[in-house]
Amino acid sequence: MWHTDLMSEKVTATNLRARVRAEMTDEIKTVARRHLATDGANLSLRAVARDLGMASSAVYRYFASRDELLTALIIDAYNAVGDEAERAVAEQETPLGMWLAAGHAAREWALANPHEWALIYGSPVPGYAAPRDTVEPATRFMLLLGATLAKANVTGGIADRPPLTGRFAEELAAIAGAYFPELTARIIADTIAAFFQICGAISFELFGQLNNTIEDDRRGFFDYQLRSAARLAGLTE
Amino acid sequence: MWHTDLMSEKVTATNLRARVRAEMTDEIKTVARRHLATDGANLSLRAVARDLGMASSAVYRYFASRDELLTALIIDAYNAVGDEAERAVAEQETPLGMWLAAGHAAREWALANPHEWALIYGSPVPGYAAPRDTVEPATRFMLLLGATLAKANVTGGIADRPPLTGRFAEELAAIAGAYFPELTARIIADTIAAFFQICGAISFELFGQLNNTIEDDRRGFFDYQLRSAARLAGLTE
DNA sequence: GCCACAACGAGAGCACTGCTCTTGCATTTT
DNA sequence: AAAATGCAAGAGCAGTGCTCTCGTTGTGGC
């Protein structure tokens, strides 16, 4: 993201160079996203450069490596699904409505951008270590689910359950104390479980790994999955 | 698997060629699995050949393409986790014990063979379409969970719940009628949900995508995940 | 036992990849 | 105006999957 620094560093009258740089990086990412849809994570940097009518070496002025390009796409993807989910949630009133809206928004985004979903929620690219910049966007969707439960919890919309036991419960309690005062360790654990289930439901449908058991009413099936995830997380009503 | 056919086709006295072929394919797969641990899904066929001291072109006598090699590894991986889970389940008496044993066995296999787990439960390799031979081994683990619930259901170990509604319910009911007479559509749907959650729990822990929230007691956390999955599937006791 | 045949290993080669380095040009800064 | 910097292009390197050809070797039919 250092081109952002470059832009804000010195805002001269024209600042042509910084502007075309920003446009160029965006254009590269757009074309790369298009290639992502056909070639998946092993897209060719040279092919992207060809599509842009430039030499492959020129791309390296904008992204130091192919991995860095992928990182930019990953961050954008995390933010895209986060945006979609937040937008959908904002239209809802009840916690359950927010929960369902977030889930369906994520699924629909995944169906529209399967390879980008695979990029962020599939197996990591070999030899690729996610940089620091990705962790914040990566947590947005899950935090949205947590926020929904937090809202439900203050209005008594979450079932009372016995607290957790075990060493991991203390770790979760520490997290709850530091970041989510409205939530208990138990609710956090169940939220994570629900998050796993939702992501699994989307991924398995997307990657066709459930052998096309459900063919006609996939949305209905996912809706049921969402509701059982809500039940798992303790969302009543 | 056609080298198996070759072996059983004509068992002459010596049959040297078929034997060394079988040994060679196994050896290639072994080395490839080793490379998988470092390079992931984009392992180099040439590097595998180098490790074996043979020309890269010679490998193509055994696997028509790199994808075919990966397919063989995928099938083996599915069967390995299936074997492990079945072995662990066989030692248990109660449905819940079987459930927990299957889950922990899968997780431990995944921790021991992370890249193979990524190969089968991560995002599919781009441009790679899973062949017919993979679907049967792929279903083994999930069928094991289903069988556990079936055993529980006949002894009244599954909570009574309202039946499903919606179009997808009919699809599931048809599957239940054809393959799982002991199960209801509702139980199948909940089993799938639990399966999603378990696979998600393993994958996210493996790929480090939950930002190392839980550090110390990962097994305990997974055990809790397993139990909430069981609750989700309706397993009482 | 011999011989045609099929399987096999090796090597060269093709088109492609990510990435680096150098060279010349355009733009910005001093 | 001059120096410094940003940028695009091209050549080049090491590596890839895969194909083809060419000797060699084990195998089944006669």
Total CB pairs under 8 A between chain A and B: 155
Q: Using one digit for the tens of pLDDT, what is the confidence trace for B126-150?
A: 556 677 788 889 999 999 999 999 9
- Whole-number Cα distances in Å, A199 to B82, B110, B128: 23, 18, 22
**Chain B residues 149-178 with CB within 8 Å of chain A:** 164, 166-168, 171-172, 175
Q: Is the pLDDT of residue B92 over 70?
A: yes
pLDDT surpassing 80 at residue A12 = no
Residue A123 DSSP symbol: P
Token pair of A144 as six digits? 């949205």
Inter-chain touch B196–A192, beta carbons under 8 Å: no
Choice between A173 and A16, residue whose per-residue pLDDT is larger: A173
Supply the DSSP string of B17-55, one letter for each residue.
HHHHHHHHHHHHHHHHHHHHHHHGGG--HHHHHHHTTS-
What's the whole-model pTM score? Answer: 0.91
CA distance B177 to A136: 46
Predicted pLDDT at A133: 85
Confidence of residue B213 (pLDDT cuts 50, 70, 90): confident
Contact A41 B210 (CB under 8 A): no
Average pLDDT over residues B112-123: 91
A60 touches strand C (CB under 7 A): yes
> How far apart, in Å, do the first and last CA atoms of chain B sit?
43
- Residue contact A228–B196, C-beta within 8 A: no
What are the φ/ψ torsions at residue A235 (nearest 5 degrees)?
-70, 115
Report phi then psi at A94, rounded to 5. Answer: -80, 155
Amino acid in position B14 = T
Is there a contact between B194 and B235 (Cβ–Cβ < 8 Å)? no
Tell me what pLDDT residue B39 has.
87
Nearest Cα neighbor of B204 from A81, A103, B196 is B196
Percentage of residues of chain B with pLDDT beyond 90: 68
Mind telling me how many Å the CA of A193 is from chain B's nearest CA? 6
How far apart are the two ends of chain A, measured CA to CA in Å?
Answer: 44
Q: Among A195, A196, A211, which would you mutate to test the B interface (most chain B Cβ atoms within 10 Å of its Cβ)?
A: A196
Any long-range contacts for A216-222 (C-beta under 8 Å, 24+ apart)?
A216/B167, A216/B168, A216/B171, A217/B166, A217/B167, A217/B168, A217/B171, A218/B168, A219/A104, A219/A107, A220/B166, A220/B167, A220/B168, A221/B168, A221/B189, A222/A103, A222/A104, A222/A107
Alpha carbon distances (Å) from A191 to A30, A60, A88, A198, A234: 34, 41, 19, 10, 9
In whole angstroms, C10 C1' to B116 CA is 31
C1'-nearest nucleotide to the CA of A58: D8
Q: Are A117 and A59 in contact (CB under 8 A)?
A: no
Mean pLDDT score, A44-59:
96
User: pLDDT at residue A73 above 80?
Assistant: yes
Quick one: which of A185, A190, A189, A182 has its CA closest to A234? A190
CB distance A126–B41 less than 8 Å? yes
What is the nearest CA distance from A134 to chain B, expressed in angstroms? 10
B chain contacts of residue A118, beta-carbon cutoff 8 Å: 123-124
A199:B195 CB<8 A: no
pLDDT of residue B7: 38
Mean pLDDT of B172-193: 90
Please tell me the predicted confidence (pLDDT) of residue A208: 78
pLDDT, mean of residues A148-153: 92
Return mean pLDDT, chain B: 89
Report the share of chain B in percent with pLDDT over 70. 91
Collapsing DSSP to helix, strand or coil, B235 comes out as strand
- Given a cut of 70, is residue A94 above it in pLDDT? yes
Does the pLDDT at position A183 exceed 70? yes
C-alpha B157/C-alpha B71 separation (Å) is: 38
Q: Is B146 helix (H, G, I), strand (E, B) or coil?
A: helix
The pLDDT score that the predictor gives to residue A128 is: 64
Separation CA B41–CA B38 (nearest Å):
9
Among B200, B199, B185, CA closest to B146: B185
CA distance B104 to B85: 8
pLDDT confidence of residue B127: 59
Q: Is A126's pLDDT higher than 80?
A: no
Query: B213-235 burial string, b = 16+ CB within 10 Å, else e?
Result: bbeebbbbbbbbbbbbbbbbbbb
Check pLDDT > 50 for residue B2: no
Which residues in chain B are closer than 8 Å to A207, comparing Cβ atoms?
123-124
pLDDT interval class at B202 (50, 70, 90): very high
Q: Does B197 contact A192 at a Cβ distance shorter than 8 Å? A: no
Angle (nearest 5°) at CA B108 between B103 and B110: 95
Out of B42, B119, B220, the one facing A167 most closely (by C-beta) is B220
Q: Is the CB of A19 under 7 A from strand D?
A: no
Q: In angstroms, what CA-CA distances link B201 with A42, B114, B163, B184, B226?
A: 26, 13, 27, 26, 9
* Extents of the domains making up chain B: 1-64, 65-233
Say yes or no to pLDDT of B151 above 50: yes
> Over 50: is that where the pLDDT of B167 sits?
yes
CB B30 within 7 Å, strand D: no
The mean pLDDT value for B43-65 works out to: 97
Positions on chain D within 7 A of a protein C-beta: 6-12, 15-21, 26-28
pLDDT at A141 over 80: yes
Which pair of tokens denotes residue A188? 């956090």
Pick the CATH number of A65-233 from 3.90.226.10, 3.40.50.1360, 2.130.10.10, 1.10.357.10: 1.10.357.10
Q: Which positions of chain C lie under 7 Å from any protein Cβ?
A: 7-13, 16-22, 27-29
Instruction: Read off the pLDDT of residues A184-237 as tens digits, 9 standing for 90 and up.
Output: 999 999 999 999 999 999 999 998 777 678 888 999 999 999 999 999 999 986
Give the pLDDT confidence score for residue A3 in this predicted structure: 37
Q: Which of residues 47-106 of B touch strand C (CB under 7 A)?
A: 53-58, 61-62
What's the pLDDT score for residue A129? 66
A64 contact to strand D (CB, 7 A limit)? no
Tokens representing A88 are 């959908």
Is pLDDT of B5 > 90? Answer: no
The residue-averaged pLDDT of A178-182 equals 86
Task: Provide mean pLDDT across the span A22-39.
Answer: 94
Looking at residues B75-102, what average pLDDT do you find?
97
Between residues B29 and B2, the one the model is more confident about:
B29
Residue A38 Cβ under 7 A from any strand C atom: no
Residue A1 banded pLDDT, cuts 50, 70, 90: very low
d(CA B199, CA B214): 17
Q: Which of B116, B168, B190 is the mutation pick for testing A, counting most A CBs within 10 A? A: B168
Q: Is the pLDDT of residue A144 over 90?
A: yes
